[in-house]
Amino acid sequence: MSDKQKQQLYVRTPLIESTALSKHAPFKVYLKLENTQPTGSFKIRGISNLCKKAIEKGSKHIVSSSGGNAGIAAAYAARKLGVKATVVIPKSTPEFVAQKLRDENATVEYHGKVWDEANKRALEIASQSNGTIIHPFDHPDIWQGHSSMIEEIADDMTHKPDVLITVVGGGGLFCGVIEGLKKVGWNDVPVITIETVGADCYNAAVKKGELVTLDDITSVAKCLGALTACQQALDYYSQHEVHSVVISDKEAVDACLRFTDEHRILVEPACGAALAGIYSNVIPKLQEQGKLQTVIQSAVVIVCGGCSITLEMLNKYKSKFGL
């Protein structure tokens, strides 16, 4: 293994007790600040693990079709590991996102109207160039990488948290969380998974007991917008205490606004959805419904981050939802 491959591409992120968020809840709120990763989100944990393993097997070209945080993580990992990266993104992707990818030395190709079309092109490029396609969430190496955040939380906390709050897009983060909980022996810590209306493929799957493919993503939380969750995420639903919750876009955006004021941290609505777990009183509501029966004295929120957001965008969402 070369020196480049030995380097850790993600950082150990802070776990802080949030006085501001604890004021909104009858328990202590801890925040795992994944927004402080070099790529702005937790994604680098799992994606760098997958890229390293692919490079160890001889790959010299990383190919992604994500115009979101997974694409940025793949481009960053490829640059740090000294291999080429190509990211194919749909024509609808904002220019500032394409620029972030180029800033990481990735070759950016616009293709198609939607992700499916961009992904087909990415698969073509990968097969023609002997490259490795990096799925944004559905791979065991990704889950293994993401699970490291739970090991850090277990190291940093003096006690076991009573509940953990995370979001679900395609389910990569969630699978990593469950695997991390298993590793540290916290099998009995319930997990609340939050999605927004219009990006709620996981909630649809757990209700139906099988994977569901959404017709479209209508939520502003674009990076929660997988059409279908991964099978492993559904399988973990029956192996762990999981409460799947759907909130509105308005609640996610409201959480982003309040978090910016209270913590001076700007995050995407996808991450606002996790914070809405506190701001929108998701835990007391689940308790009232008799679904969450544990006494809650402390909760950990995974602040997953996200870099496809600007103050201007947040202000537009603010007006859109009359906040």
Rounded alpha-carbon distances, angstroms, from residue 179 to 45, 67, 182, 190: 14, 26, 5, 13
Taking CB under 6 A as the rule, does residue 71 contact ligand PLP?
no
Applying CB under 6 A, the site for ligand PLP has a residue count of 24
Residue 167 lies near ligand PLP (rule: CB under 6 A): yes
| Closest to ligand PLP by CB, 237 or 296 | 237
Asked if 177 contacts 146 with a C-beta cutoff of 8 angstroms, the reply is yes
Q: Which of 161, 180, 272, 305 binds ligand PLP (CB under 6 A)?
A: 305
Q: What are phi and psi of 90, to 5 degrees?
A: -65, 155
Closest to ligand PLP by CB, 18 vs 308, is 308
As measured in angstroms, the least distance from the Cβ of 33 to ligand PLP is 12
Q: Does 245 bind ligand PLP (CB under 6 A)?
A: no
Cβ-contact 252, 272 below 8 angstroms? yes
Candidate list 90, 131, 170, 190; residue touching ligand PLP; CB under 6 A: 170
Q: Which of residues 84-103 bind ligand PLP (CB under 6 A)?
A: none
Q: How far is CA 66 from the centre of its chain?
A: 13
> What distance in Å separates the CA atoms of residue 290 and residue 84, rounded to the nearest whole number?
52
Question: Taking CB under 6 A as the rule, does residue 226 contact ligand PLP?
Answer: yes
Looking at the Cβ atoms of 131 and 176, the one nearer to ligand PLP is 176
252 is a contact residue toward ligand PLP (CB under 6 A):
no
Strand order through the sheet with 163-167:
15-17, 28-33, 298-303, 163-167, 191-196, 242-247
Say whether residue 203 binds ligand PLP (CB under 6 A). no
Shortest reach from residue 2's CB to ligand PLP, in Å: 28
* Of the residues 81, 270, 283, 300, which one makes contact with ligand PLP according to CB under 6 A: 270
CB atoms within 10 A of CB 209: 10
Distance in Å, CB of 203 to ligand PLP, minimum? 13
Q: How far apart are CA 205 and CA 234, in angstroms?
A: 7
Contact between 100 and 66 under an 8 Å Cβ cutoff? The reply is no
Query: Quick check: 223 binds ligand PLP (CB under 6 A)?
Result: yes
Q: Work out which of 81, 304, 309, 314 binds ligand PLP, going by CB under 6 A.
A: 304
Q: Which stretch binds ligand PLP (CB under 6 A): 95-103, 111-119, 220-228, 312-320?
A: 220-228
DSSP string for 116-144:
HHHHHHHHHHHHHTT-EE--SS--HHHHH
8 Å CB contact between 168 and 234 = no
- The 3-state DSSP class for residue 305 equals strand
Q: Which residues bind ligand PLP (CB under 6 A)?
A: 41, 43, 68-70, 136-137, 167-174, 223-224, 226, 268, 270-271, 304-306
